[in-house]
Structure 1
């Protein structure tokens, strides 16, 4: 046998295991004692916290009132809270790429509307396009029709809160096409008066009730 460790152990077994001598010979055979390397502790990633903060701001959590974000099932704003929850879910998911893309469009439109310094004329246009994005996202995400109908007037009121001379109205309760209030969206049957889907809000002048921008609907 040529292994120094084995030779040292056998020799001490023969001598009755002199503990002190065994320790010295093992140190000679094995070399100096080595300290086990300490596990590296990774500092908490700042990237994860930053990503969470961006998502929270994208969802307007620093702007929206707690009556919306903390709404309970019996509270009036609860449908809007559910829609915002679905919006956040699809932004972070790749299961439905179309819904994910449209969730980003809607979130971006809402952030531009509520965060940017805009003239009212421009804000009305951005709000109108945000309402179009709302219906497009709801369709792509397969949101329940009743949920969309209940959350639409809440979103319209929320958008109106930033305006002085114009108000938005949802038309989810409308079943018959009215050329004074509606425009047919792409894919509509031009000969049908039955409204089958809504594609935007209606915008009116607050003081007079005059239609400022017609609601897009599908017939």
Structure 2
């Protein structure tokens, strides 16, 4: 919303600034009003810790992206697909993370890594779903990148994306489950950690796995 307003000249920046200032003032008012709330204090502490962790992970992702940029030079279809790949792998992690945190809160699973087998059906379903989407993405990416589709290139791209999916989807699923259990065991609120950390980690995992796949297929 703010980005769209910035495009409206000349009052766009002014309107955006007013909204941003209003948001800051409302947030400050709510913090002061509920400053004695233990739940608010806990949420703020956990949020700040999450910000530190996410910042570290983002820097790691940036390093991986610099490493992969040289390999994908001239591969326009990879540039087209990259945001969708990160989003898809992140969605898988979010699904597993949300299911796990809910089950932990309800007490339907033990807070142990040994209980991960109970999430295998969801992990398998997410892997199958992402495989289907990756197959659909392949011809679209080639068409957008080159204005046409060559069967050999399509077959190679599908193999690359399937390899990426086989590497990244189980990794982010296992990590999301493990993170939820670890946070729960420490007496912290998984909802304040799992999704933000998982969403950021999924970018690093996708980039790292894509780096491996491109190296293998080059």
Please, what TM-score do these two structures have when normalized by structure 1? 0.29
From the two aligned structures, give the one with the greater helix fraction: 2
Higher strand share: 1
Q: Which of these two proteins has the greater Rg computed from alpha carbons? A: 1
The two structures have a TM-score, normalised by structure 2, of 0.29
Higher relative contact order (CA 8 A, sep 6+): 2
